[in-house]
Structure formats: C-alpha cells, structure tokens
C-alpha cells in the first residue's frame, strides 16, 4: 500500500491562503466599523448644492462680488475621440467628464464626473486673512480652437481678473490646465494659491466590494516613489514633494500631474460603499488640497489624465504614472513589470484573452517544473524513509532530543533532506503573489468574455441566489468551484489515504487541511476576478498532470530506494547548516546528561 507524508508545498499554500483571508477579514472588519459609525456623508450630501463640496470650503470667504444680472450660464465642450469634457462659465465648474470608449457594468456611458459631487477650484489669498474662490466668479468664454482650446476669463474687481485655459489635443487622454492671475496694480508675485480637487467615485463594476478594494487615492513623490491611502474607512494625510495625485477608480483614473513638486498637500479618502443611503452608487470620496507655487507672471501650468488605469498605457507617458497601478511591491512588482505584463500583452496579440490566460499558465508551469520535480522527489525519499522514521519515533518517544539526533543521522546517511521539499515551494511564492496582484489590475481583461464568464475582470456568476451569504455573496461563481475541486483532488492525491497523524506532522491535521483549503478557496474567490480563478484552476490541473507524469514516467521508486541504500554505505560527510545543527543537538544532549548527574 502506498504510504504518504505531509506535503510541505500544500501546507505553505494553506498558510498563504490563511494570510490572505486574515487580510480580507480585517478589510471587512474596517468596513463594518465604518458602517456602524454615524457617517457624516448623508448630512454633507443634504447640504451640498449643485456640484460643489461644502466640506471643502473650510476657510472664510469675506469677499462679496457684484452680481451680474445679465449673466447667462454657458456650457463649453472640449472633445476628441477619447474624452468629452464640459465646463460651465458659472464658477468654471467641471460639469461632465465622459470616457467615450467605455461603459460600466450596466452598459451605461462611463462618466468620471456627471452630477456626482465634485469640485475643481482655486483658493486665492486676498490679504487680511480672506480668500477668493474661483468657483464664486462668473466667466466669459473665448474659444481659441473649437473643442480643443478654450479660455475662461473671470473678473474679480476693476484691477484683477483670472484666466483659466483648457487644452485637449486630438486622440489624447490629457487635458492641459493653465492658471493666470492678472493684476494691473501690482507686478509682485502672488503667494497663497491652493487648488481644491475632490470628487465622489462612481461604481462601475458588478461587485462593488471587489471594486472598492482597488479604488484608492495614490500619489507620487520624490521623483520615483509612490504610496497610497488606506482603502478602508476614512483616512487623511499631509504629504510633501508631490509629483502627481491619482484618484483611482479601480480600472479608471483621474490623475493630476504637477510640473513642479508641491508641499503640505492634504489628501483625504472616505469609504462610501458601506453607506446604505447612497444605494451602492459610489465607492469612495476623494479630496486633495494642493498648494501651488506661481511663477513670476503669476501663472502655472499642469495636466490632468482622464482614462483607463492601464499599466502599459500609463507607462508610455514616461511620467511614472504606471506606479499608480498596484502591481505589488518588491520582487512581486518586478515579476509583474518585467515578466507577466509583457508576456500577457504578447499572448493577447495571438490568442483570445481566456486562451491567453491558459497559455500563460502553461508557460509558468513549464518554467517551474524543475521545482515541482525537486519537491516530488523529496516526497518520495521521505516516503521511503517513513518506516525508519516511525521506528525512531517509537524508540525515543520520551526523549525528544535524542529522537531529533537520530532523525538527523538518518537523513545524513541516506542523503535525504526534508528542506529540499520546502525550498521549491518557497521559491514559487513570489510567482504566486505576483499573479495574485496581476489579475485584479490587468485592465486588458475588463469586459473580455471566455466561456460562461462575460467579464474576466469580474466574477463569473452562473446562479443568482436572491439572498446574501456572509463571506460568500449573493451568487455562485463557477471557476472558483472548479479551482476548489482541483485543489481538493491534488491534496488528496499527494497525501493519500494513509495520512500522518497530527503528532507526526508537528500538530498539523492534514485531513483538516485537505478539506479546509478548497473551502476557503471557494469562499474567498467567489467575488474575485474570474481570470484569477481560471488561472488557479488551470494551474492546479496542470500540477496534477505534471505530478502524474513525474510519478509514472520519470521517477523510479526502486531506483531511488537503491540510491538511498548506497548512500547509507558511504562515509558520512556532514557540512554546512546540517553539521552545525547536528553539533548543536549533540551539545544539547551533553548538557542534558550533565544536568542529570
């Protein structure tokens, strides 16, 4: 009868899933706490008129402007193949930002701004602790180039006026903003201008919870560094040396790009998804107060990006904007940046997106197949040594130190190393985490179908339950079920019917793991991107096939047994870590004997 042992690869996988689940539970706990608080959002929304934030204008405005009774509001449009951008001459308010090539999960037009609470204005110091807000002015318009360049001129008083120029080039996702303050009585440089930018982010995906996890305010600072605010609850921060600020709505972003770094920037993010009064319409509320330094002509220029959160597209701007895409830190980000993004982009030139995922999974499995072979070979050696290990355990069951010594001697004589089975699994961990971060942010998967999944960037529901199951959801996704079945079969195949007891595996109940891992997979990935679940399903199926091939056609158990017996006959050469460990055990044994005398 075939004997099996504790599978270190599966155990490490269990630990990884557990860590991810703990983070998920923490995220849900944060949302629950936020939902229990008396959220001020509802009160704020009741007080907000038109498209402005009352909570933003915290400074006193003591200026009174003469109302022009003859003023008539005019809507100015900038437009190209990518963007429709509407401005009002009443306060220079941004009325609409439409991304023309995209739609939301309901196939409705995709707006970044459209009657949601938003503001884009300037606070200008007016002396004597008072300010002028650009949103309080009325403007005349001057169309310099139809639907491409427009200038708004707002009169402050007899001597001062404000010029705001907006430029949109053909086929561009960038709008250039120019601010200029004209003052006929003064040639001095003006200080104390602050840009106020805030908006509520629309929900655009089927799962608002999943979309909300990847909706965040991020920013770049000190040239190539970047960071972000927490995605849960309400958070604020003051930052310095800021290059850009991104309001990322998972797959779509509004990014402010500064020509000169700004200090003392105040940023705020507030979770709106848990606010039931908003009826799942919004995910986050973002706000940034940005001090800007004017040049000697009392003007400044900067740009805004409105478009997809597409890593490859943002990278083309050569402004480090691709850092706003959360592709992972350290080696995980390195793998995504230099391996998986370029590889997947290449594959999608030749295959459909679902097939590209399968092909990429196959390539990854082939690349790490030597590690899989090494791990399985270690399992075979440990299985062969199991009878001798059981004898040692029984003989020295009351002397843990001696049992450890004899176990190490057996490993040394036979040439087996239990760590050789764990090391391949550890080396695969960066790939595991890199792909875990790759699929949720791969914009190219958005609204791409495969088999029954109508959107590989969202869950692949095959049944709507009509009620909500905690931690699971209100629907049934098929790819997570298939992935869970594959994990269960793989675990059962590697552990077998004769599982080691918890005492033999250091207290780890392998039978519990065999059932718990697929169950956790089933619950955790039900709301995740179906592209990720498809990858895990194919990956586990390929692992099963690969291990069957290794077991039946590559590894000869009898040959390995003969090699172990030959190794036992050879002189023992102990070096490195094993020698130090064995010496430490011997010293500990001597000390134990000396204390016993």
Do 336 and 328 form a contact (C-beta atoms < 8 A)?
Answer: yes
Domain that holds residue 372: 8-27+346-569
Dist CA 213 CA 234 (whole Å): 14
Which helix (H) or strand (E) covers residue 74, if one does? none
Whole-number CA gyration radius for the chain = 31
567 to each of 230, 385, 412, 571, how far by Cα in Å? 56, 13, 9, 8
Q: Identify whether 226 is part of a domain.
A: yes
**Strands, DSSP E only, in 443-595?**
461-469, 473-477
Q: Identify whether 44 is part of a domain.
A: no
Dist CA 430 CA 422 (whole Å): 14
Residue 107, Ramachandran bin (φ over 0: left; ψ between -120 and 50: alpha; else beta): left
Do 578 and 412 form a contact (C-beta atoms < 8 A)?
Answer: yes
Residues 212 and 121 placed together within one structural domain of the fold: yes
CATH number for position 188: 2.70.98.90
Strand partners, 110: 99
How many other CB atoms are there within 10 angstroms of residue 314's CB atom? 24
Residues 315 and 443 placed together within one structural domain of the fold: no
Residues 197 and 291 placed together within one structural domain of the fold: yes
Residues 163 and 265 placed together within one structural domain of the fold: yes
Residues 72 and 19 placed together within one structural domain of the fold: no
Q: Identify whether 576 is part of a domain.
A: no
Residues 468 and 321 placed together within one structural domain of the fold: no
Instruction: Give the strands of the sheet with 174-183, arranged side by side.
Output: 139-145, 149-155, 160-168, 174-183, 299-308, 252-262, 242-249, 215-221, 225-228
Q: Identify whether 340 is part of a domain.
A: no
Q: Identify whether 196 is part of a domain.
A: yes
Residues 306 and 436 placed together within one structural domain of the fold: no
Residues in the chain: 597
Strand partners, 239: 265
Residues 305 and 350 placed together within one structural domain of the fold: no
**Strands, DSSP E only, in 296-377?**
299-308
Residues 313 and 352 placed together within one structural domain of the fold: no
Q: Identify whether 590 is part of a domain.
A: no
What crossing angle do the helices spanning 530-549 and 353-367 adopt, rounded to 10°? 40
pLDDT tens, the chain, 597 aa long: 333 334 444 444 445 555 444 444 434 333 333 333 333 334 433 433 333 344 444 444 444 555 566 778 899 999 999 999 999 999 999 999 999 999 998 899 999 999 778 999 999 887 667 788 999 999 999 999 999 999 999 998 888 899 999 999 998 999 999 999 988 776 666 667 899 999 999 999 988 888 999 999 999 998 788 888 888 888 899 999 999 999 999 999 999 999 989 999 999 999 998 877 777 899 999 999 999 988 888 899 999 999 999 999 999 999 999 999 999 888 999 999 999 999 999 999 999 999 999 999 999 988 888 877 777 777 777 777 777 778 877 777 777 777 777 777 777 766 666 666 666 667 778 888 899 999 999 999 999 999 999 999 999 999 988 888 888 888 899 999 999 999 888 877 766 544 444 444 444 455 666 677 788 888 888 888 999 999 999 998 998 888 888 878 777 667 777 766 666 666 555 555 555 655 665 666 666 666 655
Residues 410 and 287 placed together within one structural domain of the fold: no
Give the CA count within 13 Å in the CB-facing half-sphere of 530.
27
Q: Of 230, 217, 110, 92, nearest to 164 (Cα)? A: 92
Residues 250 and 350 placed together within one structural domain of the fold: no
For the four alpha carbons of 426, 427, 430 and 431, in that order, the dihedral sign comes to negative
How many angstroms from the chain centroid is the CA of residue 94?
29
CA dihedral 334, 335, 341, 342 (to 10 degrees): 90
Pairing of strands 265-271, 234-239: antiparallel
Residues 142 and 269 placed together within one structural domain of the fold: yes
How many other CB atoms are there within 10 angstroms of residue 247's CB atom? 26
Number of structural domains in the chain: 2
| Whether this model's pTM surpasses 0.85 | no
How many other CB atoms are there within 10 angstroms of residue 171's CB atom? 9
Show which of 277, 295, 325 is a domain's final residue.
Answer: 325
What is the predicted pLDDT for the residue at 314?
94
Q: Identify whether 129 is part of a domain.
A: yes
Do 414 and 593 form a contact (C-beta atoms < 8 A)?
Answer: no
N- to C-terminal Cα distance for the chain?
A: 46
Dist CA 131 CA 108 (whole Å): 40
- What are the tokens at 378? 């270690």
Do 206 and 217 form a contact (C-beta atoms < 8 A)?
Answer: no
Three-state secondary-structure class, residue 256: strand
Dist CA 521 CA 484 (whole Å): 6
Q: Identify whether 191 is part of a domain.
A: yes
Dist CA 497 CA 519 (whole Å): 20
CA angle 313, 318, 322 (to 5 degrees): 50
């Amino acid at each position: 009868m075939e004997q099996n042992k504790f599978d270190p690869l599966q155990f490490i996988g269990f630990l990884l899933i557990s860590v991810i689940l703990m983070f998920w539970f923490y995220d849900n706990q944060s949302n629950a706490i936020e939902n229990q608080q008396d959220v001020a959002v509802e009160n704020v929304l009741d007080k907000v008129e038109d498209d402005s934030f009352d909570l933003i204008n915290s400074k006193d405005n003591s200026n009174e402007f003469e109302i022009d009774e003859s003023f008539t509001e005019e809507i100015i449009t900038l437009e190209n193949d990518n963007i429709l951008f509407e401005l009002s001459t009443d306060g220079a308010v941004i009325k609409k930002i439409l991304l023309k090539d995209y739609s939301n999960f309901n196939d409705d037009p995709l707006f970044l701004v459209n009657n949601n609470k938003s503001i884009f204005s300037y606070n200008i110091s007016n002396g004597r602790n008072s300010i002028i807000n650009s949103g309080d002015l009325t403007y005349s318009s001057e169309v310099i180039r139809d639907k491409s360049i427009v200038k708004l001129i707002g009169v402050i008083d007899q001597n001062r006026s404000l010029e705001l120029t907006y430029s949109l080039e053909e086929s561009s996702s960038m709008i250039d903003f120019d601010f200029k303050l004209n003052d006929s009585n003064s040639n001095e440089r003006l200080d104390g201008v602050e840009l106020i930018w805030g908006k509520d982010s629309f929900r655009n995906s089927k799962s608002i919870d999943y979309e909300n996890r990847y909706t965040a305010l991020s920013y770049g600072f000190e040239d190539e560094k970047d960071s972000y605010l927490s995605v849960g609850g309400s958070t604020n921060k003051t930052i310095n040396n800021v290059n850009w600020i991104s309001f990322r709505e998972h797959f779509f972003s509004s990014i402010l790009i500064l020509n000169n770094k700004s200090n003392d920037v105040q940023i705020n993010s507030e979770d709106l998804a848990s606010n039931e009064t908003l009826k799942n319409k919004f995910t986050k509320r973002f706000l940034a107060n940005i001090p800007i330094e004017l040049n000697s002509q009392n003007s400044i220029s900067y740009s805004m990006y409105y478009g997809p959160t597409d890593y490859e597209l943002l990278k083309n701007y050569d402004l480090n904007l691709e850092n706003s895409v959360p592709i992972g830190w350290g080696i995980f980000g390195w793998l995504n940046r230099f391996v998986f993004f370029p590889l997947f982009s290449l594959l999608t030139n030749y295959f459909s997106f679902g097939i590209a995922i399968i092909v990429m999974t196959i390539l990854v499995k082939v690349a790490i197949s030597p590690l899989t072979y090494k791990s399985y070979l270690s399992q075979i050696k440990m299985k062969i040594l199991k009878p001798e290990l059981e004898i040692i355990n029984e003989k020295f069951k009351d002397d843990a130190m001696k049992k450890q010594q004899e176990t190490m001697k057996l490993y040394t004589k036979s040439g087996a190393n239990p760590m050789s089975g764990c090391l391949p699994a550890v080396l695969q961990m960066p790939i595991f985490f890199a792909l875990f971060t790759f699929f949720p942010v791969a914009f190219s998967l958005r609204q791409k179908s495969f088999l029954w999944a109508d959107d590989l960037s969202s869950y692949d529901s095959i049944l709507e339950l009509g009620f909500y199951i905690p931690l699971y959801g209100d629907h049934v996704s098929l790819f997570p079920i298939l992935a869970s079945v594959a994990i269960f079969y793989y675990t059962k195949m590697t552990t077998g019917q004769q599982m080691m007891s918890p005492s033999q595996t250091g207290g780890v109940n392998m039978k519990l793991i065999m059932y718990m891992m697929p169950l956790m997979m089933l619950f955790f990935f039900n709301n995740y991107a179906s592209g990720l679940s498809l990858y895990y399903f194919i990956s586990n199926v390929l692992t099963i096939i690969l291990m069957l091939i290794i077991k039946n056609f590559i590894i000869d158990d009898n040959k390995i047994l003969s090699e172990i017996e030959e190794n036992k006959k050879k002189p023992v050469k102990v070096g490195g870590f094993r020698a130090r460990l064995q010496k430490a055990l011997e010293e500990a044994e001597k000390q134990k004997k000396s204390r016993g005398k």
